[in-house]
Amino acid sequence: MSPAQPSRVEAAIEKQRRWYYRKNTLRSVFAIWRLAKNPKATKYVFMIGDSQDNVCEAERQRGGFTDPFRKNPALEAMWQARFHAPVYDLEELGRLPAETLGGAYARHMKANDLRADYYDVKVTPRTRMQFLRQRMRQTHDIWHVLSGWGTDEFEEVGIQGFTAGQYMSSMAAIIGAAAFLKSILRCRFNELERHVDNFCEGYMAGKRAENLLAVKWEELWSENLETLRRRYRIEPAHKAAMASVRELKVAA
């Protein structure tokens, strides 16, 4: 028996869905092109994230991938409560000891000349995936501190890998793929190797760590950074790679 043909209404809905996906994908491609020309133009990172949120929310509702909200009840509770933390006060956090999460975060932000309010906090998320993206933007540099990844181009690819290891992040995959492609097109294969190594290392570390999406780091500022890493099984960047090098030296 041949499968039932979709009705005219179903066919129209499917056509509209594909058009919607195509439009958002084209916006992402444009943003990738602009980002490749200027990696520091964060507004194009936001454009990629917003475009992919639209697609991911539609697919989440269709059951097209593992729903991070269904998988993590604490994250769903945050969405239901519309949890929103105020902009972090770097001066106040900077008074905490350097070995605490808050102290380390404030020093990371100041050392890299970063602002805690570089994203638009006034935007009210309309969907779960928009809520998650806003939360990820606010805590992105906290994850940098926890995971040990720096802020240059290659280290950013590592933190994107870590993010992809935590949940199905199409934006993280796009940024990683864009870095790979840029290195290939410029025939800089030594850079390609660094990009791939960092993304893979970050991805595996993100997979091994506890689920971090619903952690309210704002309640943990005064806790010891290393204690938090152990609690959430976060392996600092390059630790595994350095261990492998030491093993090779011993074997030699």
pLDDT digits (tens, 9 = 90+) for 218-228: 999 999 999 99
Instruction: Count CB neighbours of 143 within 10 A.
Output: 19
Q: What is the pLDDT of residue 94?
A: 97
Can you tell me whether residue 88 is helix, strand or coil?
Answer: coil
For residue 229, tell me if it sits in a domain.
yes
Q: Is the pLDDT of residue 246 over 50?
A: no
Question: Comparing 4-18, 182-196, 213-227, which segment has the lowest mean pLDDT?
Answer: 4-18
Highest average pLDDT, of 88-92, 123-127, 128-132, comes from: 88-92
Q: What is the pLDDT of residue 50?
A: 79
Q: What is the pLDDT of residue 4?
A: 63
Spatial contact of 172 and 165, defined as CB atoms under 8 Å apart = no
Q: Is the pLDDT of residue 251 over 60?
A: no
Buried residues in 107-127 as b, exposed as e (16+ CB within 10 A): bbbeeeeeebeebeeeeebeb
DSSP code per residue over 4-50: PPPPHHHHHHHHHHHHHHHHHHHHHHHHHHHHHH-TT-HHHHHHHHH
Tokens of 40: 């520091």
Domain, as residue range, for 145: 65-251
120: Cα within 13 Å, side-chain hemisphere? 10
Q: What is the pLDDT of residue 227?
A: 98
For residue 8, tell me if it sits in a domain.
no
For residue 81, tell me if it sits in a domain.
yes
For residue 242, tell me if it sits in a domain.
yes
With a CB cutoff of 8 Å and minimum separation 6, the contacts of 230 are none
User: Percent of the chain beyond pLDDT 70?
Assistant: 89
Spatial contact of 167 and 135, defined as CB atoms under 8 Å apart = no
For residue 47, tell me if it sits in a domain.
no
For residue 69, tell me if it sits in a domain.
yes
Q: How many domains does the chain have?
A: 1
Q: Which amino acid is at 129?
A: M
Q: Work out the average pLDDT over 129-146.
A: 93
Euclidean distance between the first and the last CA atom of the chain, given in angstroms as a whole number: 65
Q: What is the pLDDT of residue 18?
A: 80
Q: Is the pLDDT of residue 112 over 70?
A: yes
Kindly tell me the burial class for residue 151, based on how many C-beta atoms sit within 10 Å of its own C-beta (0-12, 13-18, 19 or more). middle
Spatial contact of 234 and 228, defined as CB atoms under 8 Å apart = yes
Residue 96: band (very low, low, confident or very high) from pLDDT cuts 50, 70, 90: very high
For residue 243, tell me if it sits in a domain.
yes
For residue 208, tell me if it sits in a domain.
yes
